[in-house]
């Protein structure tokens, strides 16, 4: 028995809508508390820039998936299984924005978190007994962990953008004390893996210096690392500012005008 034409058309339209929905691209965001540390209802004093990126990207055309977690380093994001969940969800055509470094400078084997990484981008390792798990663990360099995530994301067909860590509220002689090592290592990783790079540390520091130390102080209500909502707004806008400087990054087509 032949199905009525309107039934076939309805089925075709439904199938097309499903395919379109399935094809909607996503931008996955990973990092630490400076990227995601908000309960989302305005009561939390700490806000990450990843939370506010939705104000700058057209979410009707691209989904924003913020998987950053407070307290993580590049090492613990992988070790604790967070990265596996992200890379499993990535599909061809998606984007990955990543920012690590603030917690990578922590001790390698302290009893509190054991989250630090070896400085640099080389292949050095250190075998330890993780005091938290009491199990052996091989610790690698910051660059090694970053490369692993970039390469695995690219293998899934994603475009990767590495952001340097955001600056802390530290000043000397009217200038922001700019972090040198981790932005340098992040940029080196981007170059060696073919990822895009945004020197977020430098962009934000420039804006802060234009505003002045007293104005910037109002962004930090509890410490010198975690911004409030207004500070995170500036950080998110700075991410977009850096993205626009990368003319050949296709994520720019989703930026709101």
Token digits of residue 143: 């660059």
Measured N-to-C along each axis, helices 200-211 and 181-193 cross at an angle, to the nearest 10 degrees, of 140
> Under a CB-based contact definition with an 8 Å cutoff, are residues 31 and 50 in contact?
yes
Q: Which residues pair with 198 in a beta bridge?
A: 163
Identify the structural domains of the chain with CATH numbers, from first to last.
26-247 (3.40.50.1110)
What are the pLDDT digits (tens) for 40-61? 555 568 899 999 999 999 999 9
Q: Assign 184 to helix, strand or coil.
A: helix
Edge-first strand order for the sheet with 25-31 is 62-66, 25-31, 95-99, 159-163, 196-198
> In the prediction, which pLDDT does 22 show?
56
CA distance 8 to 14: 10
What are the pLDDT digits (tens) for 77-103? 999 999 999 999 999 999 999 999 999
Burial of 200 (0-12, 13-18, 19+ CB in 10 A): buried
What are the pLDDT digits (tens) for 200-234? 999 999 999 999 999 999 999 899 999 999 999 99
What are the pLDDT digits (tens) for 226-255? 999 999 999 999 999 999 999 999 999 999
Q: Which of 68, 79, 70, 67 is nearest to 114 (CA)?
A: 79
Residue % of the chain over a pLDDT of 90: 83
Which DSSP string do the residues of 190-213 spell out, in sequence order? HHHHT-EEE-HHHHHHHHHHHH-H
Q: Is the pTM of this model over 0.95?
A: no
Token digits of residue 1: 């028995």
Round the average pLDDT of the chain to a whole number and report it.
91
Q: Is the pLDDT of residue 17 over 60?
A: no
> In the prediction, which pLDDT does 40 show?
55
Write the DSSP symbol of residue 219. T
Q: Which of 109, 102, 89, 116 is nearest to 26 (CA)?
A: 89
């Amino acid at each position: 028995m032949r199905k009525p034409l309107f039934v076939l058309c309805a089925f075709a339209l439904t199938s097309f809508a499903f395919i379109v929905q399935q094809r909607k691209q996503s931008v996955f965001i990973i990092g630490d508390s400076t990227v995601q540390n908000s309960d989302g209802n305005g009561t939390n004093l700490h806000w990450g820039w990843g939370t506010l990126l939705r104000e700058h990207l057209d979410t009707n055309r691209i989904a924003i998936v913020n998987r950053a977690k407070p307290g993580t380093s590049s090492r613990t994001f992988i070790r604790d299984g967070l990265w596996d969940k992200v890379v499993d969800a990535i599909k061809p055509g998606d984007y990955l924005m990543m920012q690590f470094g603030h917690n990578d400078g922590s001790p390698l084997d302290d009893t509190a978190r054991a989250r630090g990484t070896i400085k640099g981008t080389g292949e050095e390792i250190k075998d330890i007994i993780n005091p938290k798990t009491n199990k052996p663990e091989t610790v690698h360099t910051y660059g090694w962990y970053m490369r692993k995530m970039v390469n695995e994301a690219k293998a899934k067909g994603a475009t990767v953008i590495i952001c340097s860590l955001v600056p802390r509220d530290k000043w000397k002689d009217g200038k922001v004390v700019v972090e040198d090592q981790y932005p340098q290592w992040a940029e080196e990783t981007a170059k060696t893996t073919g990822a895009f790079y945004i020197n977020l540390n430098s962009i934000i520091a420039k804006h802060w210096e234009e505003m002045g130390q007293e104005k910037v102080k109002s962004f930090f209500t509890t410490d010198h690392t975690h911004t409030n909502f207004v500070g995170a707004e500036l950080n998110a806008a700075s991410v977009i500012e850096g993205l626009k400087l990368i003319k050949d990054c296709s994520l720019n087509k989703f930026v709101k005008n």
